[in-house]
Structure 1
């Protein structure tokens, strides 16, 4: 576990500008230095940009941080070993989200791992870390009622957004990706609301519109000749998509929710228009208020994470010790064979070797759980055993 590391920024711990800078850098990164990193899984969402890493043997976290992160980027945060695994578990369980309890983040974490797996940048350590994080997130979701199903970041902004709309109202959702689809499905259930779906490709907008009973148009047509709107939700990757020219043609627009990263709405243009811009900074304040209301449930969820984390670390130590335990038993077998092998059957020698190794193996496992695999490795080396614990090599499933 010593080789696991996590670097990144989030909206809560860095702000919008730092998050945007890191997200842009991750999207443009052509590759990773193999002399420093064995495994890499990037996670980019509207709320965070992070790298989950397995360091190469001999590489330090500070060396990786210094070499990998350009000086122009905000420094961000860094976690190593158990701290990195704990942070990943909290992210997957949506305890570190702007909107605590949103189940969308679990899907995003799973998708990030699958994308890295297909790119060939995962391995035993990151596989274990993500498998445990997703397992723990499922338990938190199952036992602690932090939020209803299908809660998203838009769910946090929706009350503020709808409170500013007249009735009836016409609302457009720009972007038919995951964030836009969740926002559109949420708004489609609202009475007295005419919903428009806008996307760069018409087919994707039409498909979702038919499902929700909404109207649709292409992004190009929307920007040239938009309908008269009361509300607007944006969820694209296009910076400053909505500017002063668009807003001048929307005299009745009262509220915008900007879910985009980079931001889709030019804040300077909004300054001269009577519209409420609910951006990530505004949503962060809403999230903090909601976090205060959920203190008791969040404390219970944190306790589950810590309990499960202890079990996960014990499991990792057990698996990492596998090769060393085999070597210890073999050493006992060889010693018995050389000493009394002529007097005993091979099967009995094998059984005695396992019997004699039982208590040292039990102690070795306890040493690894309490003080880490490195302490167990030092014991083995001092004892003259050639087997050494390391990273286990096994396949995990990610359900």
Structure 2
């Protein structure tokens, strides 16, 4: 577990600028990561975080890994979690406890999809497999036992109150992007009375499909940009940088609010600087996220208790599995020593009983060392005892299939 690391940036570490920089430097299929020397790697990329979970090779420490995973010229220093801390942070991410909008529904599915994509790409292994299976299992338990948010809660849910205040009588809203984030925003808006909803997407058939499902109008992105219809608000959830530029905004005189959920940011900086239209993005939604987190303090605390208890049990079980082959071999050596020393003077059952008793203290010490200082320290314990040929983690590769 000591070789597990989680490194990245998020809405809190670096904000939108860092997210854009990391997503620009590391793009699907993440071939850049393949050449950095990691034994295993799984990227988790969403609209408010860029993380990668890696298995560090023995020749690399976490400081070196962090340097390799920082784009050239970036002043923002990514966070780095290692060992049990990396597994805990991954679990908190999957359970939506670390989200900008705590309890949002998307992140668990995004973590699961990220792991599945890495499996398909062949970049996972026993350590990352154990980490993701464990994190997702515990996250599911947390979400099942603590009601953090209603179904379909998303990042857009944080911006919804601002939209309703800006358009108290309803109005015309265009949602740019019919992917996961855009679809969630559109479904939320479709349930609000008084809104005329327009779905815009690069693929006109995809826009029509979503619009038909919601009883809305649709348009291709090309047609919308060429002749934008009057709208009171825009919700942007596309992968296109600076899609909404000053010229487009000038052609939308009734526009009052833009909600930018895209990474990279869909709104040109000059639109924000002009300040004629209010713009909400990952950075400006931080205050709303903090307010919601404060309102959920008791539930978040209950979720953390469940998470920590489940995590402790998972780590203890994992350590036992890693030690299992070595403990068995240690007992076999004590049995062989007992038989050699006593010869025919003792039966096989009595020899096995004595060997088990003799091995009890070193086995107990081995477990304590592994749990307190890690498996590498336990390997040193064995080596110092003259048992260096015993290899920890022979059950390592089987963990993924058991989880």
Cα pair distance change 1:127/1:8, threshold 3 Å: same
Q: What is the aligned partner in structure 2 of residue 2 from structure 1?
A: 2
Q: What is the aligned partner in structure 1 of residue 390 from structure 2?
A: 387
**Cα distance, 1:53 vs structure 2:** 0.8
Cα pair distance change 1:105/1:245, threshold 3 Å: same
Cα pair distance change 1:40/1:192, threshold 3 Å: same
**Whole-angstrom distance in 1 between the partners of 2:265 and 2:82:** 31
Q: What is the aligned partner in structure 1 of residue 90 from structure 2?
A: 88
Q: What is the aligned partner in structure 2 of residue 43 from structure 1?
A: 44
**Cα distance, 1:343 vs structure 2:** 6.4
Question: Contact 2:232–2:256 (CA<8 Å) still a contact in 1?
Answer: yes
**Whole-angstrom distance in 2 between the partners of 1:203 and 1:343:** 85
Confirm whether residue 331 of structure 1 aligns to residue 326 of structure 2: no
**Whole-angstrom distance in 2 between the partners of 1:359 and 1:79:** 33
Cα pair distance change 1:395/1:197, threshold 3 Å: farther
**Cα distance, 1:230 vs structure 2:** 1.4
**Whole-angstrom distance in 2 between the partners of 1:35 and 1:164:** 48
Greater displacement, 137-146 / 60-69: 60-69
**Cα distance, 1:137 vs structure 2:** 1.4
Confirm whether residue 396 of structure 1 aligns to residue 400 of structure 2: yes
**Cα distance, 1:361 vs structure 2:** 3.1
Q: What is the aligned partner in structure 2 of residue 243 from structure 1?
A: 245
**Whole-angstrom distance in 1 between the partners of 2:71 and 2:284:** 29
Q: TM-score, normalised by structure 1?
A: 0.92
Which of 126, 135, 138 does residue 137 from structure 2 map onto? Answer: 135
Q: Within 5 Å, which residues of 2 pair with 1:135-214?
A: 135-214=137-216
Q: Within 5 Å, which residues of 2 pair with 1:338-349?
A: 338-339=340-341
**Cα distance, 1:42 vs structure 2:** 0.8
Secondary structure (helix, strand or coil) at the match of 2:391 reads coil
Cα pair distance change 1:398/1:292, threshold 3 Å: farther
Tell me, which stretches of 5 or more residues in structure 1 are unaligned? Answer: none
**Cα distance, 1:337 vs structure 2:** 4.4
Q: Within 5 Å, which residues of 2 pair with 1:1-399?
A: 1-27=1-27, 29-32=30-33, 36-73=37-74, 74-272=76-274, 274-339=276-341, 353=355, 357-358=359-360, 360-385=362-387, 386-390=389-393, 392-396=396-400
Question: Contact 1:196–1:214 (CA<8 Å) still a contact in 2?
Answer: yes
Tell me, which stretches of 5 or more residues in structure 2 are unaligned? Answer: none
Question: Contact 2:170–2:194 (CA<8 Å) still a contact in 1?
Answer: yes
Query: Any idea what the Cα deviations from partners look like across 1:80-100, whole Å, max 9, x if unmatched?
Result: 112211211211111211111
Question: Contact 1:36–1:64 (CA<8 Å) still a contact in 2?
Answer: no
Question: Contact 2:7–2:80 (CA<8 Å) still a contact in 1?
Answer: yes
Question: Contact 1:256–1:275 (CA<8 Å) still a contact in 2?
Answer: yes
Question: Contact 2:21–2:71 (CA<8 Å) still a contact in 1?
Answer: no
Greater displacement, 324-333 / 241-250: 324-333
RMSD of aligned Cα (Å)? 2.4
**Cα distance, 1:398 vs structure 2:** 10
**Whole-angstrom distance in 1 between the partners of 2:116 and 2:50:** 16
Greater displacement, 137-146 / 110-119: 137-146
Question: Contact 1:172–1:231 (CA<8 Å) still a contact in 2?
Answer: yes
Query: Any idea what the Cα deviations from partners look like across 1:345-390, whole Å, max 9, x if unmatched?
Result: 7787667655654554344323322332233222211222221323
Secondary structure (helix, strand or coil) at the match of 2:205 reads helix
Aligned length: 399
Cα pair distance change 1:244/1:7, threshold 3 Å: same
